[in-house]
Amino acid sequence: MRKSHLRFPVVAAALLLLQTFLPAHSSWGQQTTPPNTQQTQPQQQQQPADQTAPEAGGPGNDNGPIAIPKKAPANTPPPPPPPAVKNPPGLGNLSLRVDVPVVNVDVNVMTDKTHQFIPNLKEENFRVFEDGVAQDIVGFHQVKAPITAVLLVEFASTDWNFIFDMWNSAIAFTRQLQPNDYIAVVMYDMHTTILTDFTQNKMMIEQAVQSLQIPTWQETNLFDAVYETLDRLSRIDGRKYVILVSSGHDTFSKITLDKCLQKIKETPNVTIFSIATGGAGMMGGGGFASGRMNSITMLQAQNQLQSFARMTGGMYFEPRFTAELPDDFGAINESIRNQYQITYKPSNIRMDGTYRRIRVELVDQEGHPLRMQDQKHKSVKYDIIARDGYKARQQVE
């Protein structure tokens, strides 16, 4: 009886101790889970994940590399236009130059005696031939524009008559210039010297001419001077003119006459007007008749100046008196400022670098040579002044 009474309190104490250490909601045979899982799992069941894309950063709780860009609000104004881009100071606009297979010919039609320009001619009055083949005219108009010219003068210690004629010719040319003309003055003896670059200031032109007082050399390197002047003018766009005041005599040039003539053929858009000096001295036994130039040398010098003018569509003058100079330069101004410009497409389109001969004729409505009459119904003779040819481009150019 005593033993059973002592065993009962021990069993009750053990049960009481076990109940103290076990949670109230736990039961034997049920697997327990970690505390963190028990706390988050009910929240996921009560608040399901939002499947719509957020404004930025990609899907919710996504730390991957793919992100959806942020949507712009519906009322967002458009971005401002980019600022206009301007070239830096001193840098002009770029241009694209395209070679078009056309030939431009400046034609002057003047009366034979008075050298006056004949206006009011029509396109159908002109016929253009290249190497004897008639060409189709695609452009025609009469122009009267300012000039860009080089006054190229000879200044050597040879004869006073040449220097005297050069001064008078240069001054006569300067006084007939217009305010918008561009003129450069170049002097040559043994060397070629630029006295003044292109300018519209007539005072600077006259001062450049008047600065030629005491010549230094006796040599007159005409071919070198013409070659160098044409080489500089080839870098300038547009129509250019050379007013060559010279005796026509060459003494010590490095360039030969053939090379000079070849340079004239290869230089487009340049017209040479030749004024022979020393002619006034012939009346008094000087000038061409002096010991410096005999008759053969004189004829050769004249022929060279005439060739320069004829090849480029210019004019040649040989004044005998100083009083002739204003009329001569008046004819030059009339020829330069009043011209017919003809454009044609050459039938020979080969780019072989050959020299093509050009001939211009005037015809009437029936295709016969054009005949002109003055107000008294007298026949008027006229001269057609145009370049005698051009050099075609080469394939390698």
Residue 339's beta-bridge partner residues?
143
Same domain, 250 and 298: yes
pLDDT at 58: 44
Q: Does the pTM of the predicted model rise above 0.85?
A: no
Co-location of 310 and 348 in the same domain? no
Q: Show the DSSP H helices in 200-278 as ranges.
A: 202-210, 222-233, 257-266
Tokens 């399901």 found at: 48
| Same-domain status, 262 and 377 | no
Q: Is residue 51 part of a domain?
A: no
DSSP-assigned states of every residue in 118-184: -----GGGEEEEETTEE-EEEEEEEE----EEEEEEE--SS-HHHHHHHHHHHHHHHTT--TT-EEE
Give me the pLDDT at residue 220, please: 87
> Does residue 109 sit in the same domain as residue 218?
no
Phi, psi (rounded to 5 degrees) for 363 = -130, 160
Q: Do residues 267 and 121 both lie within one domain?
A: no
φ, ψ for residue 212, nearest 5 deg: -85, 90
pLDDT at 284: 36
In a domain, 9, yes or no: no
Instruction: Give the CA-trace dihedral at 275, 141, 390, 189, to 10 degrees.
Output: 20
Q: Is residue 119 part of a domain?
A: yes
| Residues 312, 272 contacting (CB under 8 angstroms) | yes
Along the 397 residues of the chain, how does pLDDT read in single tens digits? 444 444 445 445 555 554 555 454 444 444 444 444 444 444 444 555 555 444 444 444 545 444 445 555 556 677 777 666 566 665 556 554 445 578 989 898 888 777 778 888 999 999 999 999 999 999 999 887 788 999 998 887 666 667 777 888 888 888 888 888 999 999 998 899 999 999 999 889 888 888 887 777 788 899 999 999 999 998 888 889 999 988 888 988 999 999 999 999 988 889 999 998 876 544 333 334 444 556 777 888 889 999 999 998 888 998 888 788 888 888 888 888 888 999 999 999 888 888 999 999 999 988 899 998 888 888 888 989 888 888 888 876 5
Statement to judge: residues 123 and 252 lie in one domain:
no
Task: Say whether both 272 and 288 belong to one domain.
Answer: yes
Is 316 a member of any domain?
yes
If one counts every other C-beta atom within 10 angstroms of the C-beta of residue 86, the result is 7
Let me know whether 187 and 318 are in one domain. yes
* Domain count within the chain: 2
Which residues form the domain of 215?
A: 149-337
Measure Cα distances from 169 to 166, 271, 359 in Å: 5, 18, 31
CB-hemisphere CA count at 13 Å for 181?
21
CATH code of 208's domain: 3.40.50.410
Residue ending a domain, among 337, 371, 388, is 337
**Domain identity same for 158 and 284:** yes
pLDDT at 84 (0 to 100): 63
- Structure-token match 């000879």, residue found: 154
Please report whether residue 2 resides in a domain: no
- Asked, for residue 366, whether it belongs to a domain, the answer is yes
The three state secondary structure string of 14-37 is HHHHHHHHCCCCCCCCCCCCCHHH
Q: Give the domain-ending residue among 288, 305, 337.
A: 337
308 and 237 housed in the same domain? yes
* Cβ(173)–Cβ(151) below 8 Å: yes
- CA 129 to CA 361: how far, in whole Å? 8
One domain, residues 279 and 350: no
Q: Is 42 inside any structural domain? A: no
CA-CA distance, 250 to 236, in Å (whole number)? Answer: 27
- Could you tell me which residues are beta bridge partners of residue 149? 183, 241
Question: β-pairing, 148-154 with 182-188?
Answer: parallel
For the record, the structure tokens of 177 come out as 């210039």
8 Å CB contact between 278 and 159: yes
Rounded to whole angstroms, how far apart are CA atoms 257 and 292?
A: 20
Give Cβ neighbours of residue 335 (< 8 Å, ≥ 6 apart).
108, 110, 115, 117, 273, 314, 315, 385
Instruction: Tell me which of 287, 320, 337 is where a domain ends.
Output: 337
On whether residue 38 sits in a domain, the answer given is no
Tell me: do 122 and 167 sit in the same domain: no
Residue 82 CB neighbours (<10 A): 6
From the number of C-beta atoms within 10 Å of its C-beta (0-12, 13-18, 19+), residue 221 rates as buried
